[in-house]
Structure 1
Amino acid sequence: MNATDRALIEQNQLFRGMDFTSVEYMLERCSERNLVAGESLLQPDVPNHHLHLIVAGKLSVRLAAQESLEHATLGAGECVGEISLVDGKPPSALVVASEPTRILSIPHDTVWSLVNHSHEIARNLLGIVAGRMRNDNRALITSNDTRKQFEHQAYVDALTGVHNRHWMADAFARTMHRCALNRRAFTIMMADIDHFKRVNDTHGHLVGDITLKTVARTITEKLRPSDLFVRYGGEEFAMLLPDTDKFNALMVAERLRKAIEDTTINHGDLSFQVTISIGITPTQNEEKLESLIGEADHALYRAKKQGRNRVVIFG
């Protein structure tokens, strides 16, 4: 190796805090390699028998399942391939040069000779492996947080903050099955804001959005923690009340209707009130959700036809 490369290798994290001249002779069996941008150094499931020291340039680490996404970037003074050294298994990631890169590849048996020769190298190698595991743990936590965020966005209505129809299908089905299994009554409700189009046409969509959020919040506050509540679409909401028979469902529906009727929508100098119509279908049989929604929707339609701001039971 030339003097420039020697100086760069001496600064590598593997040789930190030690006398490099005491082990320099052990690197005579090592090979130097020049990678062009885009060239692979390590590939998933391809055996790796070297610890690779980055002399100059940069390497991009990409997870096998997402080779188009960069997981980490490694530069001069760092190394790669240490996990294969420890566990003897092929790499789990793809490592490619992101620019022209010069590598010093140390065979595994030479690395272990260096470890046996120097406590400093053993300590440094342990630190490298621990650092890699720590970074992977951080990446895993970030990935899980991102996944949870995506799940939240997929199942929660962005405007009102209540669950949406994507969440409804599974959540309603599970609760219905549990109630039917225990021979407990449950009720499906469909609620719709009366004359909502008039609100939008008269006051604008911003006020319409405020109305939707106010109605959703008011209903949420009046329901039990065990009740399921979703924005079904537009100005329509769906609810599933477990352990609720016809008599109690009527009481709940009237309480919701009255709560909305008594709520004032405020925006600047504007104040007004809206009402809701509700259709309900109580049952204790595990019928298809679509059928029960249809029945509650039919009852809701009748409530609208009868003058709105009222509760109607299907049947």
Structure 2
Amino acid sequence: MDEQQLIKDIVYNIEKVIIGKRLEIYNILKGIIADGHILIEDVPGVGKTTLVKALSKSLNLTYSRIQFTPDLLPSDITGISIYNQRTMEFEFRRGPIFANVVLADEINRTSPKTQSALLEVMEERQVSEGNNTIKLQKPFFVLATQNPIECEGTFVLPEAQLDRFMIKVGIGYPDKKDEAKILKIYRNDEPLEEIQSVAGAEDIITLQKKAREVFVSDEINEYIANIADATRNNKYLILGTSTRASLALLRIAQATALINGRNFVIPEDIKENVLLVLGHRVSVSALARASNYDSESVLLDIIKTVPVPRVK
């Protein structure tokens, strides 16, 4: 299988539905190839949900959508045990989390208690019900959409849950040329209903295995560790990155190398993904806010100051 051609076919297929967002599509594919979960944050109406649906159709994977609302319960996500009077036993009815692609729509519109129901599922890829543990089918990834915190009726995601998302991406408004093209295409047609699958579950699992095989030198490992350490000893940050974040940066770098046709990671694979992987995991201090610094600008400064290794 030609991995690069397969990836291009997937991107081209999604672009039939999502116009002018090639970079964002590639970033989401990085997360999937790295076997991670993805948080998509942006204002309503820019195509977050449509992108996820186009992705699931392109990959021919089972798909479910969970609409997060203030009254959503944890059992509405994972499932519930119901007593069967005929057998006099409890039967577990699976919730919508049992799918390859799970769209957690507007995840920050529900309470932290319900959000936490996803923690075990996202980390362990399993659901615990009583004494039973049910493994989820591979591949499995959660693509959660959220509106900016400034929007009315939203909750801040707990740090523990944010850390479970490998990357956070934004969609953004299309430029005028692309928006005019969207209006022309969608005037009479519904592209989402017309696209066909170009890959399957086995293809994604193979890509994920290939990414894990991408070589990472000791120098690259030390480079990632130095970046993580710099976030933990920075006066502008009150919360640095976890070891899980360092591993996520490594996995994304491997996926990036694979997409670019290399079987080894270079420092540029790390640098171009630092904001994607670490941006939502760090918290700025009062000093940073007083200096008009946000997490992105702090991380960019760290990238400039941490020495870049020479990889042979």
What TM-score do you get using the length of structure 1 for normalisation?
Answer: 0.22
* Structure 1 or 2: more strand by fraction: 1
TM-score by length of 2: 0.22
Which has the greater radius of gyration? 1
Higher relative contact order (CA 8 A, sep 6+): 2
